Chain A
Amino acid sequence: QVQLHQWGAALLKPSETLSLTCAVYGGSFSGYYWSWIRQPPGKGLEWIGEINHYGSTNYNPSLKSRVTISIDRSNNQFSLNLKSVTAADTAVYYCARPLTVAGNDAFDIWGQGTLVPVSS
C-alpha cells in the first residue's frame, strides 16, 4: 500500500520561502510524475507542478516564477519550494501521485496535507 507522508515549515512571514517534503512509502518511486497541489482555506484545488524520477518538471504558469520542485531518489522523496510568499499563498499543501506511470492521469494517492499560514 503506497503512502505519502509530507512535512515542512509551519507559519511563514511574507517574503519567506515555503519548503515542504513528501516521502513515498510502500511502492515504486520511479516512473511516476509526483505532484504538489494546494487548497486555500475554504476554497478549491490548484495544481502547482510535478516532477518525475529523472527530474523533469512541469509547473503551473501562474506560479512558475516562484516554484521549484526537486527530487531525492536515494530517499524516495520530492520537495516543493515556493519563494517570496504572501498571504495569498496560505493554503493546505498536498503531495499526490497519479494512478499510473503513463503521466496525465487522475490522482489516487494523496498526502495528509500541510497547512501553511503566511502572516506577518
Chain B
Amino acid sequence: DIVMTQSPDSLAVSLGERATINCKSSQSVLYSSNNKNYLAWYQQQPGQPPKLLIYWASTRESGVPDRFSGSGSGTDFTLTISSLQAEDVAVYYCQQYYNTPYTFGQGTKLEIQ
C-alpha cells in the first residue's frame, strides 16, 4: 500500500494569512505515460462528507475558490490557502488514486489563530 503522510497534524493561522499543508507519499504517484500525479486534496467540515478541492495534484475542482492551490510532483505535495477565510476551518486530507487500495493521509486540522 502507498502510505500518505501529512504535516503538520494541526495548524493555526490568522485570518488573511497563508496556510500550507504538506503531503508525502511512500512511493511516487506520478504516472510516467501521461505525466499526471494521481493526488487529490479534500476538505472536510464537521458532520459533512469530504469535499474535493484539487485533483491531478494541481487542478482546482469547479467552484473551488482560487485561494486554494495545489503543487508538487512525485512524492511531495503541498496544499496552499493563500488568504485564510473563516469558512476554511476544517480538516484537510490528501489522497492517492495511483493504485488500489486508494489511501488517504491522516488529516490536518486547520484552525484560526
Measured CB to CB, the closest approach of chain B to A2, in angstroms, equals 13
Please tell me if B103 contacts chain A, counting CB pairs below 8 Å: yes
Please tell me if A29 contacts chain B, counting CB pairs below 8 Å: no
**Contact (A104, B97) CB under 8 Å given A44-B104, A44-B105, A44-B106:** yes
Please tell me if A19 contacts chain B, counting CB pairs below 8 Å: no
Please determine whether B104 and A45 come into contact, CB atoms closer than 8 angstroms.
Answer: yes
Binds B, one of A9-17, A54-62, A76-84: A54-62
Name B's interface SS. loop
Q: Which residue of A lies closest to B4 (CB)?
A: A44
For chains A and B in complex, what number of residue pairs have CB atoms within 8 angstroms?
57
**CB < 8 Å: which of A45, A50, A104, A112 contacts B98?**
A104
Total contacting residues, chain B, CB less than 8 A: 23
Please determine whether A110 and B50 come into contact, CB atoms closer than 8 angstroms.
Answer: yes
A window 49-98: CB within 8 A of B: 50, 58-62, 94, 96, 98
Q: Which residue of A lies closest to B107 (CB)?
A: A44
Residues of B at under 8 Å CB distance from A?
Answer: 1, 38, 40, 42, 49-52, 55, 61, 93, 95, 97-107
Residues of A at under 8 Å CB distance from B?
Answer: 35, 44-47, 50, 58-62, 94, 96, 98-99, 104-108, 110-113
